Structure 1
Amino acid sequence: MNAASPKKPIAVVLLSGGLDSATAMAMARDADFDPRPLAVDYGQRHSSELAAAARVAKAAGVPLKVLPMDLRAIGGSALTDDIAVPEGESLEEHGDIPVTYVPARNTVMLSLALGYAEVLGAGDIFIGVNAVDYSGYPDCRPEYIEAYETMANLATKAAVEGRRLKIHTPLIDLTKAEIISEGTRLGVDYALTVSCYQADTDGRACGRCDSCQIRRAGFEAAAVPDPTRYR
């Protein structure tokens, strides 16, 4: 009789429904983790990404947890407030940190993932932040992730009792083309994902915002057909 297979370690994966987070979840599974995706309904303008997260999780055969944390009460971002999303300009034209930056978003999301991981008995969190092809967000930098991990290991009962937390950022040094190539190798269906900052209720992209520009250029550079549905 064969011995029972050891259980895979659980990893909480922040899953937005976009290209990067879908790839990060596939990479978590490829690294032999049992992924538990977590999406956050933070009042984002592009709410169709939550439907995309549900599609990605269903395709992967894993349950999706969705938590509400309405950041519209804070505002200050084109994604949560009555501020126009920049369109049709180069990434340099809108300054170092664009108006699509959501104040404290990754800190809030990582905190929710941290709590969920502690309840699940998980010591690992995956987040699809990227410091190469990104829009200048300060909470996508390696030094931010390192600082958050240090804080998390001071702040939880699990860590104090010896179960330290590791935050995995498998995309952080990859170009968008490299991310797409890796995801394609792992079988990610990018047609299920939504990356546009102002996608319509059917998930169709505008083709003009920062995120659309970066995504489209990534598919071109990777020589992979772009499955994005545009308005």
Structure 2
Amino acid sequence: MENKTKKNAVVLLSGGLDSATCLAIAKSQGFDCYCLSLDYHQRHIAELHAAKNVANVMGAAAHKTANLDLSLFGGSALTDDAIAVPESETAGIPITYVPARNTIMLSLALAWAEVLKSQDIFIGVNALDYSGYPDCRGEYVKAFQAMANLATKSAVEGHAITIHAPLIDMTKAQIVTLGTELGVDYAMTVSCYQADSHGEACGLCDSCRLRREGFAAAGLADPTRYKKHV
């Protein structure tokens, strides 16, 4: 499965379950992985500490954290402390959606990819077991890729950009099963929307629910450290 000649890839790494799996997939395909995280002044930074640890343990070629304060705009429970994180399922697009976050992160990844002479960007979006975010859909990924190939020097000079979303059609159970086969230590990852400073999960938010259900459906032990009994 590995390529004989390694190529560079930029991997968006949040520190959560999906992005760690995405990194493992990129590595299994023979890429040298340059991991990019975003400090957007989210509700907690435990996931950023997790991202640094994941990148180090999983042998990333480099890891950078960009700083862009999206709390200037608010509009999300993840960027505005005055908006509570829902602890039960909600209808429609939830308040944990961060306006334009994936577009911003992919744009930053695109910039770094051009500098690295990389034609490959990996993002761990998922359209099945997800919270209803519009920027986690396959049509969004295809649209961004089309834009990237119109907007970059790389593509204009014949080196087209590919946005890889290998988890897009997978259930959370399938994701954790594949990641486990690829050697991902999910105890390192933090998915909770309101984890504490030690990375302990609330066990109640949408992200915790999907993660917990994924391990259960896969028949695998959930290594998540919870603050509360669930």
Q: Deviations over 1:9-51 (max 9, x none)?
A: 1110000000000000000011111111100101111311000
Does structure 1 residue 44 correspond to structure 2 residue 39?
Answer: no
Q: Hey, what does 2:170 align to over in structure 1?
A: 174
Q: Hey, what does 2:77 align to over in structure 1?
A: 78
Q: Hey, what does 1:53 align to over in structure 2?
A: 51
Does structure 1 residue 134 correspond to structure 2 residue 133?
Answer: no
Q: Deviations over 1:90-119 (max 9, x none)?
A: 3xxx22100000000000000000000000
Q: Hey, what does 1:158 align to over in structure 2?
A: 154
Identity %: 64
**Structure 1: gaps spanning 5 or more residues:** none
Q: Please, what is the CA RMSD of the aligned residues?
A: 1.0
Q: Hey, what does 1:19 align to over in structure 2?
A: 17
Q: Deviations over 1:61-113 (max 9, x none)?
A: 222111111110111000001200001x23xxx22100000000000000000
Residue 144 (structure 1) shift: 0.5
CA distance in 2, matches of 1:186, 1:46: 28
Secondary structure of 1:117's counterpart equals helix
Secondary structure of 1:64's counterpart equals strand
Secondary structure of 1:84's counterpart equals coil
Kindly indicate whether the alpha-carbon contact (under 8 Å) linking 2:4 and 2:30 is maintained by their aligned counterparts in 1. Answer: no
Kindly indicate whether the alpha-carbon contact (under 8 Å) linking 2:85 and 2:96 is maintained by their aligned counterparts in 1. Answer: yes
Q: Could you tell me which amino acid in structure 2 is paired with residue 113 of structure 1?
A: A
**With structure 1 as the length reference, what TM-score do the two structures score?**
0.95
Aligned length: 223
Secondary structure of 1:37's counterpart equals strand
**With structure 2 as the length reference, what TM-score do the two structures score?**
0.95
Does structure 1 residue 211 correspond to structure 2 residue 207?
Answer: yes
CA distance in 2, matches of 1:31, 1:169: 13
**Structure 2: gaps spanning 5 or more residues:** none
Q: Hey, what does 2:116 align to over in structure 1?
A: 120
TM superposition outliers: structure 1 runs of 4+ over 6 Å: none
CA distance in 2, matches of 1:221, 1:60: 25
Kindly indicate whether the alpha-carbon contact (under 8 Å) linking 1:46 and 1:196 is maintained by their aligned counterparts in 2. Answer: no
Does structure 1 residue 99 correspond to structure 2 residue 95?
Answer: yes
CA distance in 2, matches of 1:18, 1:46: 13
CA distance in 1, matches of 2:11, 2:101: 15
Q: Residue 193 of structure 2 is aligned with which of 190, 194, 197?
A: 197
CA distance in 2, matches of 1:67, 1:28: 21
